[in-house]
Amino acid sequence: MKELGLRHRFAGFMTVIILAFASAGTVQALFLKGQRNDWNGLREQALAREQLLAVIRSQMGYGSLIHNFKNYVLRGQDSYYLQFTENHLAVTLGIKRYRQLGGLTISERNALDNIQQVADEYLASATAVRDLLARGADSGSIDKSVKISDAPAVKGLADLQARNTELLAIYIQRIESRVDSAFTSVLPLMLASLAVVLLAGLLFYRYLTGWHRSLRTAPAGQYQGIAGEAGDSPEPVAGHAEHSASRISLLSEETAAVVEQNKAVIAELDHKALQ
């Protein structure tokens, strides 16, 4: 088989470089895709739960639904009843959106049911309080008649928070594990790619130095074969150099002959002049 020329060897060298770094880039892209998937899972599961849980807690707790209910019972002002119904609607919508998340556990569903049940009990009691106030009942007797336990809602919020904390830890661990895997896998691959490139460069350099050495030592008649191996030289440079040297030598001999002939003519003329 005919040996590859310089142009083909250079093309092979560049192909090795491209393949080495393309492989490393592909592996890195796969790791980045995995990290992006983990992040999306974290955002859709843990962070979405955290946001909805914050809404439910803020609308349900003291200072919102329960606080406005107490103020309505004690003061009987319609503004507190309006704020209370707004809080109840926000809690209900938050629970509805929470139920639409994927991967809910039985514990989460029970917690949502308990929170919704307590919120509905307050709503029913607020409606009853409104009727009592309309009939002229005093706030003290109304307050004593309202008996609602907040314990199921408190426990439900705690269960939701525990599940959110668990998911957050899981996805953070996944992301950290993915980063560690990327470092332990991609770095050796990059080093291996660099080693391949250096080896290919060394072999290519040795080939170039050998080819150049052959040009300097090969006889004129053998250069045509060397030039054919390189594939880039249009003419036999060594043969052309020897031919040029031969022509220069002939010109030098002709010039010397003319100089001698001129000396003889000048000497003859001088001799005749002396006579």
As a whole number, mean pLDDT of residues 190-205 equals 69
Asked, for residue 224, whether it belongs to a domain, the answer is no
DSSP annotation of 222 reads: G
Q: Is the pLDDT of residue 167 over 90?
A: no
Question: In angstroms, rounded to a whole number, what is the distance separating the alpha carbons of residues 218 and 212?
Answer: 10
**Where does a domain end: 165, 194, 223?**
194
**What is the model's pTM?**
0.56
DSSP annotation of 2 reads: P
Contacts of range 184-193, beta carbons closer than 8 Å, 24 or more positions apart = 185/27, 185/31, 186/24, 186/27, 186/28, 186/31, 189/23, 189/24, 189/27, 190/24, 192/20, 193/20, 193/21, 193/23, 193/24
pLDDT at 235: 46
pLDDT at 2: 46
Count of structural domains within the chain: 2
Q: Select from 40, 41, 153 the least CA-distant residue to 103.
A: 41
User: Tokens in use for 175?
Assistant: 């992301």
User: Tokens in use for 254?
Assistant: 């002709």
pLDDT at 103: 84
Asked, for residue 13, whether it belongs to a domain, the answer is yes
pLDDT at 18: 74
Q: Select from 41, 69, 63, 161 the least CA-distant residue to 112.
A: 161
pLDDT at 48: 84
Report how far apart, in Å, the C-alpha atoms of 106 and of each of 3, 151, 172, 188, 224 are.
72, 19, 23, 45, 85
Asked, for residue 221, whether it belongs to a domain, the answer is no
Q: In terms of residue numbers, what domain contains 267?
A: 236-275
Q: What is the CATH number of the domain that holds 88?
A: 1.20.120
Are 40 and 171 in the same domain?
yes
As a whole number, mean pLDDT of residues 120-144 equals 89
Contact 115, 153 (CB under 8 A): yes
Are 258 and 184 in the same domain?
no
Q: Is the pLDDT of residue 85 over 90?
A: yes
As a whole number, mean pLDDT of residues 169-193 equals 67
As a whole number, mean pLDDT of residues 149-178 equals 86
As a whole number, mean pLDDT of residues 7-36 equals 66
Confidence of residue 171 (pLDDT cuts 50, 70, 90): confident
pLDDT at 16: 67
pLDDT at 63: 79
Are 85 and 31 in the same domain?
yes
pLDDT at 249: 59
Q: Select from 178, 186, 188 the least CA-distant residue to 25.
A: 186
Taking the CA atoms of 86, 91, 95 and 98 in sequence, report the sign of the dihedral they define: positive
Asked, for residue 210, whether it belongs to a domain, the answer is no
Are 32 and 135 in the same domain?
yes
> How many residues in total does the chain contain?
275
Asked, for residue 148, whether it belongs to a domain, the answer is yes
